[in-house]
Amino acid sequence: MVPPDDEFDSEDEREGSVETKERPKLEKARRFKVLLHNDDYTTMEFVVRVLTQFFRKSETEATQIMLSVHHKGAGVAGVYSRDVAETKVAEVMDYAKENGMPLLLTAEPE
């Protein structure tokens, strides 16, 4: 048998306490950079076409990115969620292969 004081404390605790559920903390979805890598065979015009067609860049912005890739060895075409970045890499690599270009793209965490 439970002594009356303990019983009272238990009821008091039950009535006075508010039941809360812990919410899992949502983390921001990780973003991925799609990088274009320089090579000696893919033409500058082809890279600009890829940037305008697949990454929706203006002609001017695409030219600036292409020149950055040419001079620095790599450049960011865009930043996306992981699925979108990986899809863009696959689509562009397929398109480059169909057009006889060895263009290399990668996706890496931002």
Is 56 part of a structural domain of the chain? yes
Q: Which one, of 41, 48, 78, lies nearest residue 64 by Cα?
A: 48
Query: For residue 27, how far is the Cα from the chain centroid?
Result: 13
Helix (H, G, I), strand (E, B) or coil at 77: strand
Cα 108 to Cα 49, 63, 85, 98: the distances in Å are: 22, 22, 9, 24
Q: Which pLDDT belongs to residue 13? A: 54
Is 44 part of a structural domain of the chain? yes
Q: Which pLDDT belongs to residue 11? A: 54
The CATH number assigned to the domain holding 56 equals 3.30.1390.10
Q: What is the pTM of this model?
A: 0.74
Number of domains in the chain: 1
Cα 59 to Cα 6, 16, 17, 27, 104: the distances in Å are: 78, 66, 63, 35, 21
Is 50 part of a structural domain of the chain? yes
CA distance 80 to 110: 9
Is 40 part of a structural domain of the chain? yes
Note down the domain range covering 33. 28-109
Q: For each of the chain's 110 residues, which pLDDT tens digit applies? A: 555 655 555 555 556 667 777 777 777 889 999 999 999 999 999 999 999 999 999 999 999 999 999 999 999 999 999 999 999 999 999 999 999 999 999 999 99
Is 53 part of a structural domain of the chain? yes
Is 2 part of a structural domain of the chain? no
Is 46 part of a structural domain of the chain? yes
